[in-house]
Chain A
Amino acid sequence: MTEKIYDEIIRETVLKYVTESGVTVYMLPMKGSSSAMAQIGARFGSLDNCFSVNGGEVVNVPDGTAHYLEHKLFESEEKDAFSLFAQTGAYCNAGTSFDYTKYYFGCTTNFAKNLDILLSFVKDPYFTPENVEKERGIIGQEITMYQDNPSWRVFLNLIGGIYSKNPVRNDIAGSIESISRITEKTLYDCYNAFYNPANMFLTVAGNFNPDEVIEVCEKRLSGGKPLKVTKPPVDEPEGVFQKKVELVMPVAKPIFEIGFKEKWENPAAALEDYVSYNILFDSLFGDSSDFFERMRGRGLINEEWSPSVSSGRGFLFPMLHGEGENPEAVLEEVQKVVRDSKKNPPSKAVFERLKKSTYGAMVKDYEKSSSVASTLMDAALSDLPPCSAIDAAAASDYDDMLRRLDSLDEENVCISIVKGE
């Protein structure tokens, strides 16, 4: 039975279907689109390094396991997924983040065949000591590539400075040491726990036939029992772990990030926080703010400056990214702006302008099948209604932003700096 979910804001109808095995499928046919994208996602990311299934024994796995598993899932005994997708010409890829793993393809023809390929590989893991060992060198190279990237290092160090216990502080791909401990048993244990129907979602957008999707899903996603996977609670203190983290590596000018530690309550509240903090930080520190004009005029920041909000399952921090010779001076100015703004907040007119900008950016996400499929997946993984992000942006009001400004603690921040010798 397919449920139709009409969204008033984007005026589209998302179709929701739950397979017999319990996998939830969200579909948005897009008239006029020549392409379609399908994504299958599991609520399993780098921060899921400790878990129990149905209240059983707690299992600890090495950092980087979710990412390692993602690398291996496109292999089978006979062929790999890339070779099969090459027969149809579809574009395919996968990715792991802190709190999820996604596998996806995009195509203009042979959609049902491509979906069949995607689901058959994700449902049939094939891990052997040999193929796991072969991947270690490749993933090792990926880890060292990111180790050489100052933008990634400054961000990871920021997270490590904000959180002392939350496993979001660990590198998504793990370390050379941690991946050396991953075996085919580790991968099977995690696959069996997390790749279960209650923890997986399929999203489809673009030019496709929903009946075909349902037919392929029932064929490929049968079997498997819904399992309840839980994580032991993390006793993360309210305050940041470190006020400052520094790293020396070759960069032209110091790059830095400032993160404000905020509380993550639940997915719905976090989404509202995400929208309101985005608008707030844009108004205080964005391109059109006095702050940006002043700091740029003084040469303390340059056009690399950007405010944003990082959020996921169990973590939330509005942040600022910049480049300049005196990051500490910028931090002081940022803290002063927060203090002063509590007495003299941004006007409602500014809020409305930036709300439109935030909303407009989200409307653009509905232009292409790839971004629609991603947006549907983000909502599904958080157990939120399919168009919840744009709905939250539309519903956001000035008082929401002022509440976030009031609760913002300019002392509960971490600054992460990467500088040259």
Chain B
Amino acid sequence: MKAELIDTIDSVINDKSAFAAMNAAKTAFIGEPSELPINGTHEMAEKVNPRSAYAAYRKLLSTGHVEIMAAGCSDFEESREIFTKAFAALNRDPEAICKPRRAPSALKAEPVYVTDKMPMQQAILRVYLKTNEDVYRYANKMFGVILGGMTTSRFFMNIREKQSLCYYCSCIPATISRTLTCYAGVEPCNIKKAEEAMLAEIRDISENGVTREELECAKRELSESYSAMSDSASSLIQWYMGQITDGDFISPEEYFGEISKVTAEDVRKIAAKYSTDTVYVLMSEDNDD
């Protein structure tokens, strides 16, 4: 099992996007838990032995905050009884998860630029922006969708379709860490152009805001996706699992209720808060920086 864990950790190099994300995080989140790969490092895995693994397992059972999700055609009474009986046999002293859950990542005084090289054809660009101010969660979500999270997003329409700079160009806003991660696969000769194009879109939104059409399209797209969640038990479970760290335990419908209140000015204000923290490039050894 230890060997397979090490295989899983090492095999991140097989997926260039995941490898770029892992390497970029070391700089973007230096000194924070987020700088670590999700499965830990090769060195950490090497140190695990049967005694330490068992101790960690016992600690998890004793202090871990446990959430059990069930969705589907049952009242789950039988499941509740089984789980209650199983956990009653343990001595538990679970740690509480802080609510609201916030782990802001500090914005660097000056942007840091990192380039890694390996044999590959396409370059991968990751731009991390952060803010030291609080972000309005729902406006942050809308900003992410309008900027790079839907098929008519700024990134898709302007950077991919109009400028033909990339096949994929997207972004993920994270309210917990106050971070906006923008990423794209680009030709090595277009790295700088793509970076500038991403920042230009964010600057444009911060100065000029978003159009009413963009706002309404984003809300319609989110409304559709939240409405469809009830068709799938696994989608519903995934939704509520995500709510654990968000701090508010609300339904997709309630979430959308908050989203629908977001205004264009809310989105503009969010965009204006972000500044560049880290720019990371993974590219071929054959190309110049």
Contact = CB atoms under 8 A, between A and B. Distances in A.
B120 A148 contact: yes
A108 interface: yes
Given A86-B221, A89-B217, A302-B4, A141 B122 contact: yes
A298 to B, nearest CB: 11
A324 to B, nearest CB: 9
B87 interface: no
Contacts of A234: none
B223 interface: yes
Interface string B1-22: 0011001101111111000000
Instruction: Tell me what chain B mostly uses at the interface: helix, strand, loop, or mixed.
Output: helix
Contact of A91 (B119, B165, B224): B224
Interface in A321-372: 323, 367-369
Interface in B209-244: 217, 220-225, 227-228, 230-232
B114 interface: no
B53 interface: no
Nearest to A249: B119
B149 interface: no
A47 interface: no
Contacts of B227: 34-35, 108-109
Interface in B110-156: 118-122, 150-152, 156
Interface size class of B (residues with CB under 8 A): 35 or more
A9 interface: no
Interface string A24-35: 000000000111
A86 to B, nearest CB: 4
Interface of B: 3-4, 7-8, 10-16, 118-122, 150-152, 156-157, 160-161, 164-168, 185-187, 217, 220-225, 227-228, 230-232
Nearest first, the 5 A-B pairs at minimum CB distance are A89-B220, A252-B10, A137-B164, A141-B167, A35-B228
25 contacts: A34-B230, A34-B231, A35-B227, A80-B161, A85-B151, A86-B152, A86-B220, A88-B220, A93-B151, A106-B228, A107-B224, A138-B161, A138-B167, A141-B167, A144-B187, A145-B168, A145-B185, A147-B121, A151-B14, A250-B14, A250-B119, A252-B10, A252-B13, A252-B14, A304-B11
Interface of A: 33-35, 80, 82-83, 85-93, 106-109, 134-135, 137-142, 144-145, 147-151, 206, 249-253, 255, 299, 302-304, 323, 367-369
